[in-house]
Amino acid sequence: MIAALLALWLAQPLLDLGGDSTCPTPAEVRDRLAQLSGSTTGHPGSDQHRAYLSSTDGMVHVELLAPDGRLLAERTLNRTGSCADVAEAVAVVLSTWEAEFNPNVATSVVLPPLAPPEVKEVKPPPAPSLRFDVGIGLLASITGGEVVPGATVAASLSPAHGYFGLALALSASSTHSQSVGSLTGAAHWSRMALAAGPQYRVTRNAMMLDVHAGGAIALLHVEGVGLPSTASDTSAQFGIGTGLRGMWVWNNAAGWIGLDLLAYPGHDHLEVGGLGGGGQLPHLEVQVASGLSLGRFP
């Protein structure tokens, strides 16, 4: 009700208040009017307006009467809060009516001081603690002078503020061919490799450059082709790898191109029974890939 105290009231003789209301009583409303007007004096007179308060069904009915008994205004207020609160509301209503209907009312009123505005601290939402991305792409596997297509799934995870993180890639290529002795293309082979290791990321505006290295484990499948009697074999290989990837970010998506070098040490020797010569699988594989990733890119 503090905002309603903008209603005008003056230091004139008080209204002639009466009625059967018990909460608030006419005396309580009269006291509140005196506080608003800054005056505690005044006696009923023949030229005064009269106010009548009555209680009904948890509400207070207020009537303003002219000196000749005419009804000037009326209003029913809900009786909520304490009797003092309701008395203040009734006093504000009566003061507003007096400012409207009584031309002799001055335009000054004693207003209570306004409470200072409440200042609330607005905290920004917490920044994400991790950034990540997962993407798929197509690749070209280059080894032994031969290029075959393949596919890859690449992912990375790193702190939101920092350069180092973890890189992970699963790649597979279609079948390579390999000569064995004098037999051209006598063996076909393919690898499915999982590589993982540390990553270093440099960011500049919407561009990112990842440099990664780590270990790799692969499933190598080899089978003979075009021989009277052929055999196949699947075995595990361990290797190392390194590479880089450039990314162009749009919101939560990024396009990328990458270059990786995988090395598989050891002796992967191919032989065909009855032939004196043999073959050797290449130890190095270059993968050139391009794809699309989704994730959180701070």
62-86 pLDDT tens trace = 888 888 888 888 888 888 778 888 8
Predicted local distance difference test score (pLDDT) of residue 266: 76
Based on C-alpha coordinates, what's the Rg of the chain? 45
Report the C-alpha gap between 17 and 156 in whole angstroms.
80
Asked if residue 221 lies in contact with residue 188, where contact means CB atoms within 8 angstroms, the answer is: no
Got the DSSP string for 190-252? EEEEEEEEEEEEEEETTEEEEEEEEEEEEEEEEEE-SSSS--EEEEEEEEEEEEEEEEEEETT
Structural domains of the chain, ranges and CATH numbers in brackets: 3-101 (3.30.160), 130-296 (2.40.160.20)
Interval 175-198: pLDDT, tens: 888 877 667 767 788 899 999 999
Cα 179 to chain centroid, rounded: 57
pTM over 0.75: no
Among 11-25, 128-142, 178-192, top mean pLDDT goes to: 128-142
Predicted local distance difference test score (pLDDT) of residue 272: 58
Type of residue at 65: L
Asked if residue 287 lies in contact with residue 138, where contact means CB atoms within 8 angstroms, the answer is: no
Predicted local distance difference test score (pLDDT) of residue 119: 64
The Cα-based distances of 20 to 17, 31, 58 in angstroms read 10, 17, 14
Q: At residue 294, does pLDDT exceed 50?
A: yes
Predicted local distance difference test score (pLDDT) of residue 84: 86
Among 2-11, 208-217, 279-288, top mean pLDDT goes to: 208-217
- pLDDT averaged over the chain? 80
